[in-house]
Structure 1
Amino acid sequence: MNSPITDQELDKLGELLFKYGNDDAILDISELDGFVNALCSSPRLVPPSEWIPEVSGGKLPRFRSKAEAQRYTDLLIKFYNTVVVMLGEATDGLDLLFEVRDTPEGEIVVLEEWCFGYMRGVRLGQWSKLPARLQKYLDAIAMHGLEENFSVLDKMSLEQHQATVPLVVDAVHVLYLHQRQQQLG
């Protein structure tokens, strides 16, 4: 088995995302994590030839060297593999890479970038309609991952917003388990 991506490699990947990103690209690790979690939970296997250009905003960037292009691709694949293993081994919790900000009220978890990435992965993975009992889980993620829900988020207190964090984590786990069960049929 390959080793999980290291913190140093995550930092390098974050630099490369930003360096080679554009207005349509995934520019940070939190959004990438949401995106990859959705791909790993997708009803169909989305090949790297589809999802890597999506990370880059629709097409592969013009890299400064072949070595940097290879490093970019290798880190993306290693990140994907790390998420696959994390989801498959999770029994009581997931290690999702939400952004955390220090505020005068203390640390807060920022869900929006991560959830935007997840919903982007749902679209690319061409998720079919979920059974009614599972739709609430995707809705918990979509609450933070779709612009159409901003008005609802704006009305939430900080406490209400932070109370949704465990709902999103639970949703990711439930949706992954459902899709895996569907594939095993």
Structure 2
Amino acid sequence: MQSQPLSATEFEAIEETLLKYGDDYTILNTCELDGFFTALASSPEQVDIAQWFPAIWGGQLPNWESPEDLKNVIELCTRHYNVLALQLAEDPAAFAPRFEASEHQGQTVTLAEEWCFGYLRAIAIAHWPALPAIQAALLQTIVDLAEQDTFELPEDLDVAAHQQQVADVAPAARALHDYWLSQRVSTGSCAFPHAHRPDL
């Protein structure tokens, strides 16, 4: 299993491929993809790449211009998935969601909305069952941000409150991973899901 973190250049290569083959129904940036993989790596049961890879593209694979495009994006995606799975399971302090940044009325604001939307995409394809109240509240932290509009922040945005919401996302994601990990361990399942390169 490859677990070498991606370089900035490799993230750029993924983003270029997402934009090249994407549309309104696909994941279009690495922030959303990072959230998507975080939820997959945290899920109660492993989701096969034959399910999650097409989901990146809105459920239907693109018409690849070359086999190399497909090969490269699969390799980079599976590597990033595996890095996140390993971090969450064995070194949660190293886990840091890949958020965006924007300027808002002269301030730099960290945005987690795209990441959270990606997280919810993965929950949908992984079919998470209902959560206990504590974990449901943690998930609501992510849901609330996913429902906000990142294209135009309101002029009256409470920046401090918004940034606190963003700061709560990583601890919520770690706690949700730990909850499902405890469930997997108690049933004797794999300690953490990870991706394999498939024949798609």
Paired residue for 1:157?
A: 158
How many angstroms apart in 1 are the aligned matches of 2:157 and 2:108? Answer: 17
Paired residue for 1:80?
A: 81
Paired residue for 1:131?
A: 132
Could you say what the CA RMSD is over the residues aligned between the two structures, in angstroms? Answer: 2.0
* TM-score normalised to structure 2 length: 0.84
Indicate the SS of the match to 1:52: helix
Q: Is the 8 A contact 1:34 1:118 kept in 2?
A: yes
* Cα shift readout 1:29-52 (whole Å, capped 9, x = no counterpart): 000011110111111100110000
Output aligned runs, 1:46-65, within 5 Å: 46-65=47-66
Partner amino acid, structure 2, of 1:90 = D
* Cα shift readout 1:11-45 (whole Å, capped 9, x = no counterpart): 10010011011211000000001111011111110
Paired residue for 2:17?
A: 16
- What runs of 5+ residues in structure 1 fail to find an aligned partner? none
Q: Is the 8 A contact 2:145 2:165 kept in 1?
A: no
* Larger RCO of the pair (alpha carbons < 8 Å, separation 6+): 2
Partner amino acid, structure 2, of 1:140 = T
Q: Is the 8 A contact 1:40 1:84 kept in 2?
A: yes
Indicate the SS of the match to 2:184: helix
How many angstroms apart in 2 are the aligned matches of 1:127 and 1:121? Answer: 9
Q: Is the 8 A contact 2:5 2:83 kept in 1?
A: yes
| Deviation >4 Å, runs of 4+ | 153-156
Indicate the SS of the match to 1:61: coil
The structure whose residues are more often helix, as a share, is 1
How many angstroms apart in 2 are the aligned matches of 1:157 and 1:108? Answer: 11
Indicate the SS of the match to 2:25: coil
Matched length: 182
Paired residue for 1:174?
A: 175
